[in-house]
Amino acid sequence: MGLLWKLLLLQSFIGCLTESSTPGRLVFVKQPGSIVFPMHSTESSQEVTFSCEAQGDPPPSYRWKLNDTFVVPRLGSRYSFSGGNLRISHLSKEEDVGVYQCLASNSFGTILSREASLHIAYLENFKTQKRSPVRVREGQGVVLLCGPPPHMGDLTFSWIFNAYPSFVKQDTRRFVSQKTGNLYIAKVEPSDVGNYTCVVTNMVTKSSGQGPPTPLVLRSDGIMGEYEPKIEVQFPEVTPVAKGQTVKLECFALGNPAPSISWRRVAEGSFSMKVDMNRASSVLEIPYFQQEDAGVYECVAENARGKNAVKGKLTYYAPPHLTEKPQDLQRPIDETVVWECKANGKPKPSYRWLKNGEPLEPMENKVQVVNGALTISTLTPSDAAMYQCVAENRHGRVFTNAELRVIAVAPDFSASAVRLQTLARQGGDVLIECRPRMSPRGMISWRRGKEALRESHRVAVLDNGSLRISNVTKLDAGLYTCVARNQYGMASSAGTLVVKEPTIITTKAAQLDVTVGESIVLPCQVSHDPSLDVKFTWFFNELMIQFGSHGGYFEKVGGQSAGDIMIRNIQLRHAGKYTCAVQTKVDSSSIAIDVVVRGSPGPPTDLQVDKVTETTSSISWRSGPDNHSPILSYIIQSRTSFSLGWQAANTVPKLLGSGQLSAVVTELNPWVEYEFRVLATNAIGTGEPSKPSKKIRTKDTLPRVAPTRVSGGGGSRSELVITWEPVPEELQCGPGFGYVVAFRPHGERDWMQAAVTSPDASKYSFRDDSIPPFTPYHVKVGVYNNKGEGPFGPVTTIYSAEEEPSEAPPRVRAKSLSASEVEVSWKALPWNTTKRRIMGYELRYWGQSETQEMASVVRTTGDRTYAVLRELDGSHTYLIDVRAYNSAGVGPPSAAVNITTKKPPPSQPPTKVMWNASNSKIILQWDHVKALENESEVMGYRVMYKQNRQAQPSVVETNRTSLELSLPVDEDYVVQIKPVSEGGEGRSSRQITIPRAAGAQVVGAAWRTPAFPTLLLTLALAHTARTLL
């Protein structure tokens, strides 16, 4: 009987053992959704359909539940199935309303769909009985009740005043509640008298109904006096609101005068931007409600007689939302399954599990559910099923599915055979894995060759069935077979063990010393089994070296059988531990080499500055790393805002040895901010500097440096102007720096003094009407600061201001030299007894059609009495005047003279230049240049010639159109010809190169025409003439 059970079990599960034939899981692709059906009494056929579709292999069958009771369709029943869909005909609001669920089943189990509700929306008629009149006094508040008829589905309310379509308009005095439908009038006025009819509309069926009218009548016993607000429309003390829902709070009060309504959020301050207050603030609307919107809200009604308030709390809730779902599992018999199921929600969801659509009850030592996690221990075939986790709170529930398949199978090596060949190192350990697929777990044994393998201190079969051999020898090589058995059968798999020679690194571990900038080779030599490939990998401080990166410092130089590497231009950062790792298919080994890099010292640290005086400061520091080379000396550098970078500082002692960690810096400038840094030097070189010290300022003292380059003179009448070079800020020795200017006339004993308070000043002017012009003074300039006065500079003689010239130069003449030049001359003015110096003369000239304000100016210096005006326009009339000047200004102008420049020189160059060269002379000939009507006539020609190697040309003038030059023609000559007129030089001919004659006659010509510039060469005696155009 036991064997038969095992065979049946094996047969029933053999179809799901191989991955290639695993059937598709059972899963919903369509689930039913809730329905609100509008019921219309006029329709004879009213039906709904709930959708349900699942996929699986084999295809599923379907069942339905209504309020946890199975729906059984019968012949003629209102219920029918179409696939997985449920169709309900001739709906009945008494029988069909409720919660529906779909169940899908196949041979692997059953799953339950989400819940879907059916509601039938309707609206019945109002009762037709007449309503009694409502009698109120003027000024009194009133509530007119709507009393809606029986219904299902959301309603909206409005009120008709007297007759359709006159609807009541809501404002601060009138309000229609969409919760109760009642009409509230805060303060009745005579215009409110009339009939009021409540109108209700079903938002689902779109049907409407009107109640009987309610008459509103004013009482005749007087007018209602003022009274404080009475809140009639209130919201609940606690209102739960779902996440994402829109919530509306209503608040309205009766009172005289009509109260105003305001809202506030208790303890939270202002509302968020999304909150809307409408209908004269009687409704507070919060769309898309979130957890941060929860809290206490208060409505305040207020008028002249007082105020009243109500509060209500909005609480946040959210139906469950799954965050972790169980996955389908296949597990062997006797194993344990743990499924996690987690969901978010408020309040916190609870969990329960279903098995094939039915509640799964906990069983001791078998089934446990803890915080949504399902644990099933010691699996059996009966545990195979469809499982569903249900997370729920009072606001909803969610379902998630997972399939459990329990595997029962005979041993199988098809997917995990023993490795055909396993390599092992002689003297090492080896593991031959045996991982057959079988359920339940059976027994595993090993054979070597054809003999059963016996375990020993070197040979052991592990709990998972793998074979481990320690201290392998050559004799262990051979064929090994793993044999697996359980109650469903037996299988085996074999592989060969091959033993190889061990890999040994022959290089010994060592420590290498190297200096920064050198290159070294790190050796890594090995002996290994010749049949195996060797792979070398290098590590630096346990990080793999990527050759080709790291700035190109590392390079492989070992070839195929060695792993040597070279480090080029080694740096301090390359010091550390280098590991050569050698690996074959069988084993691996490694060796470490420590590299010490010696370099210049690191930066000193902990720089301290103290004992600061006017010119000294004490510096102390700690030595930085010596980088494996002892420190020999230190250097102190200083920097100010006035210095060009860092400068070596003078110290006591002058030489700072390796043990000297403090010094006094001397020869500092008083009242200057200094920074200091220290550098260390060893046999390798000078290292990086320390971080700069904090800025310190030396103490102030009396100024020590007087201004330089004292000078002066000039200025306006009766003024003595004294100038000097300001003292640089770094030499001012303290705050409050300024200058003391002392001066006295020649021959006087007493000094006059003035203080100039600006340290940047470079000028002082003393004005006194009694100062004669151009009078010599002794002047000296000293310095001072808050500590007192410093030294004066040397005494210098300067002159007081002079008076500008009082006369115009006489006998001004102008002569046109050319089209662009005019020569102007005048008679010099003598110095007179009033000491009016003449420093030079100023010429002003302007065109006849221009004003004097547009005049150009040319100045001469000294007693020169002529000047040439250049760059003038040809055939143009100019006006010219001359005035004398000195340091006080310019004198009166002379009478203006006019002059007309000559016509411009010819604009055409000489053309058709011909030449004849022999050993001793050059003959030139060209066409006469004819001037245009507006140009000056040609008076002659200027011929310029030079040898190729000469810098400056020689010039010959002629009034003919030919010229003979007696020149030895032993080199090339360069010639140019210009026409000359009274308007100046005209345009030059092209540069002509005449080659040396070399004992024979050479003839050439060069000209150009406007349309076709060409070069014509006439050659004689088989020699070549070259013309450069």
| Segment holding 286, helix H or strand E | strand 283-286
Buried b or exposed e, range 915-940, using 16+ CB within 10 angstroms: bbbeeeebebebeebebeeebbebee
Asked if 979 and 927 touch (Cβ cutoff 8 Å), the reply is no
**What pLDDT score was predicted for residue 1011?**
34
Is residue 1012 predicted with pLDDT exceeding 70?
A: no
Separation CA 444–CA 491 (nearest Å): 10
Please report, rounded to a whole number, the percentage of residues in the chain having pLDDT higher than 90.
58
Between vectors from CA 227 to CA 226 and to CA 231, what angle results, nearest 5°? 135
**What pLDDT score was predicted for residue 419?**
93
Separation CA 240–CA 225 (nearest Å): 40
pLDDT band at 272, cuts 50/70/90? confident
Asked if 1006 and 991 touch (Cβ cutoff 8 Å), the reply is no
Is residue 14 predicted with pLDDT exceeding 50?
A: no
CA 1028 to chain centre: 63
Provide mean pLDDT across the span 1003-1022.
Answer: 40
pTM: 0.45
For residue 106, which of 145, 155, 57 has the smallest C-alpha distance?
A: 57
Asked if 56 and 92 touch (Cβ cutoff 8 Å), the reply is no
Is residue 1020 predicted with pLDDT exceeding 50?
A: no
Distances (CA, A) of 515 to 410, 416, 570, 595, 614: 69, 57, 8, 10, 44
pLDDT band at 576, cuts 50/70/90? very high
H helices of 62-176, where? none
In this predicted model, what pLDDT tens digit does every residue of 989-1008 receive, in sequence order? 888 888 876 555 666 666 54
In this predicted model, what pLDDT tens digit does every residue of 649-699 receive, in sequence order? 999 999 999 999 999 999 999 999 999 999 999 999 999 999 999 999 999
Residues 6+ apart with CB under 8 A from 325: 341, 389, 400, 402
In this predicted model, what pLDDT tens digit does every residue of 530-540 receive, in sequence order? 889 899 999 99
In this predicted model, what pLDDT tens digit does every residue of 740-781 receive, in sequence order? 999 999 989 999 999 999 999 999 999 998 888 888 999 999
**What pLDDT score was predicted for residue 45?**
65
**What pLDDT score was predicted for residue 1009?**
38
**What pLDDT score was predicted for residue 394?**
87
Provide mean pLDDT across the span 373-390.
Answer: 91
The full DSSP string for 181-219 is --EEESS--GGG-EEEEEEEEETTT--EEEPPPEEEEEE
For residue 296, which of 254, 260, 340, 266 has the smallest C-alpha distance?
A: 266
Separation CA 216–CA 949 (nearest Å): 129
CA dihedral 961, 967, 972, 976 (to 10 degrees): -30
**What pLDDT score was predicted for residue 1027?**
28
Asked if 275 and 230 touch (Cβ cutoff 8 Å), the reply is no
Separation CA 989–CA 837 (nearest Å): 51
In this predicted model, what pLDDT tens digit does every residue of 129-146 receive, in sequence order? 889 999 999 999 999 999
**What pLDDT score was predicted for residue 7?**
32
Q: What is the mean pLDDT of the chain?
A: 87
The full DSSP string for 640-672 is -TTSSS-EEPEEESSSEETT--EEEEESPPTT-
Per-residue 3-state assignment (H helix, E strand, C coil) for 804-838: CCCCCCCCCEEEECCCCCEEEECCCCCCCCCCCCC
Provide mean pLDDT across the span 600-605.
Answer: 95
For residue 344, which of 388, 291, 289, 392 has the smallest C-alpha distance?
A: 392
Largest CA distance in the chain: 156
Separation CA 837–CA 603 (nearest Å): 67
Is residue 115 predicted with pLDDT exceeding 50?
A: yes
For residue 917, which of 771, 1023, 797 has the smallest C-alpha distance?
A: 1023
Separation CA 338–CA 572 (nearest Å): 56
Asked if 1011 and 977 touch (Cβ cutoff 8 Å), the reply is no
Summary count for the chain: helices (H), strands (E): 1, 92
| Segment holding 12, helix H or strand E | helix 2-13
pLDDT band at 1015, cuts 50/70/90? very low
